[in-house]
Each structure stands twice: as structure tokens, then as C-alpha cells.
Chain A
């Protein structure tokens, strides 16, 4: 399906948020995700299903501070 991820349209095969993070090769414990402008708890990643044209902001954190 077609999603908008960080402002870019992208075709993905993932159906859940957890699958999407795996498809993007991101470590789920290092990301924060907004789905259609609402933050998603990491405990909900596996059960959050994605729909055509969903808008996601996926922020991947790297260590250091």
C-alpha cells in the first residue's frame, strides 16, 4: 500500500506498524512514531494496522548527549 512517511510517498508491503519498522530496517526500541499526527505507544506497534495513505512521522534516534 501507499503511505506517506516523513513527507515522502512510499509503497510498502507491511500491514502493521511493527512490520513497517522491520521493512524499513529500523530498531523499534530507538524510534518514536506519529501516525496521522498522534503518537503511537511502542507497546501498540504490533497491533497498529496501517491503512492506504496513512501519514507517518518516523523518528529514529541515535545515541549521544
Chain B
């Protein structure tokens, strides 16, 4: 039968066990993953299985690394998202967390844009570090994403996004993400992208300030090509701050919506 070992298609005897495979390909492996899930070496193999053999603590070769990074993915997910290009407008609390999630997925290319620099008040929710204070956010983000998965191509723009430059910067994306802070900017991005880049879905967010219940943050379809995440009421305002938990929940709603769109699934499961 044919199956995949560390993403290479191999031919093995039909009664081969996982222990046989380990002896053949990587005798030192102590983490055995089949179809995205760690199993014991007595696990029964079937044709088409995706087997990843990992020696804990070993530094893999560069060619092995990309396969190992996504060994816990559901089979088939990585090969599809690897072909995708996603745009992210704004890399603050939402955008930086979405970019990290999409990088861990191994999305092929991220186009990120933000004019701002990292400052101390960002660190309560944004995916930056104290030693990055003062750096342009997109430069700090590109550095962090490279450390997570160097096989994701990150195209960074230090620019204030406007009605005029949004269509040009994001014309070629498969899915677009709105991740701004200001309400007027959110409205502008939605209007500009949906008017000028027809047929491409946009995932926006509104309402994730404060420490209200997690489950009030939802994903809904808000228009023809528009998905909206958030509780739609909790504005950032005096007395209602922006903090890592709810901003992170909204960001990961957005990231999962992007993933479902890239996989051809209805984001709402309808």
C-alpha cells in the first residue's frame, strides 16, 4: 500500500505496522503521528495514511521541518492553505493574533499593512514583545512570524490605509481580514474592499472590548461577501478597555472563519 511518511509518498507492505515504519525510516522517533494525531506504535496503518515520525529534541533538516511543523494539522489542510494568500489590514490586537494563527497554519502568503509602531500599551493584548517597542508593527510581526514558521511568505507595508490604496494593496488576496481599531477605519475598509475587489470574502470584527461573557462573541454573515465577528456592541471607550482574552477570542473567530473559507467550507456550517 501507499502512504505518506513525513510528507513523502512511500510504498510499504500491506501488513506494515507503525513500528515497522519507524524501524525503516526513523528508528530514533519517539513521537508518532498518524493523520494529525499522536498514536502508539501498535496503531494499525491504512493506505493513504499520513505518518509523521519525530525524534523529540532533534533539530530537523530544513526540508523535513515544514512537514513536521504541520504534523498535528488535520490531513489535507496544509496543502490547501499553502496555496492561499490572505490580506490583513491592521496588525494590532486582532491582526497580530490572526497573523500568528494563520502562520501556525502555514498559509502561503500574508499581506499585512499598518502605519503604527509598537508601544507599551499594546502589550496587554498584541503579539509583540518589550524588546520590540518603537519598531514598526509590521516589521516586528514579520520577525515574530519568521520565528514561528519561516515557510510563510510575509509581505509588509508600513502605510496608512486609505480608500485609494486598499484596492491596490489587496487586489490579489483570496480572503481579506479587517483588523482595525477605529470604527470609521473599519467601515472604510469594508466599503473600499468590497466595492473594488469583487467576489473575494472579507472577515471583519466589531465589538470585543471589556470583560463581558466570551460566548457573546459570534461570527455571522453580514452581507454578500462579508462575515462579521464580535458582539457588535462592546465598543472600546473610557471604562471599557481592550484586553487579551476577548480580543483574542474575536481574532481567533476571524482566523477560523478565514480557514473555513480557504477550505471551501461555509464559515457558519450552513
Contacts and interface: CB of A to CB of B under 8 A. Distances in A.
Interface of A: 27, 29-32, 34, 37-42, 57, 59-65
29 contacts: A27-B183, A29-B187, A30-B186, A31-B187, A32-B190, A34-B224, A34-B226, A38-B224, A39-B195, A40-B191, A41-B195, A59-B223, A61-B184, A61-B190, A62-B207, A62-B233, A62-B234, A63-B209, A63-B235, A63-B237, A64-B181, A64-B235, A65-B94, A65-B95, A65-B181, A65-B186, A65-B208, A65-B242, A65-B247
Contact of A30 (B181, B187, B226, B230): B187
Interface of B: 90, 92-95, 179-184, 186-188, 190-191, 194-195, 204-209, 222-224, 226, 228, 230, 232-237, 242, 247
Contacts of A64: 181, 206-209, 234-236, 242, 247
Nearest to A33: B191
Q: Mostly helix, strand, loop or mixed at chain B's interface?
A: mixed
Contacts of B230: 62
Contacts of B247: 64-65
Q: Mostly helix, strand, loop or mixed at chain A's interface?
A: mixed
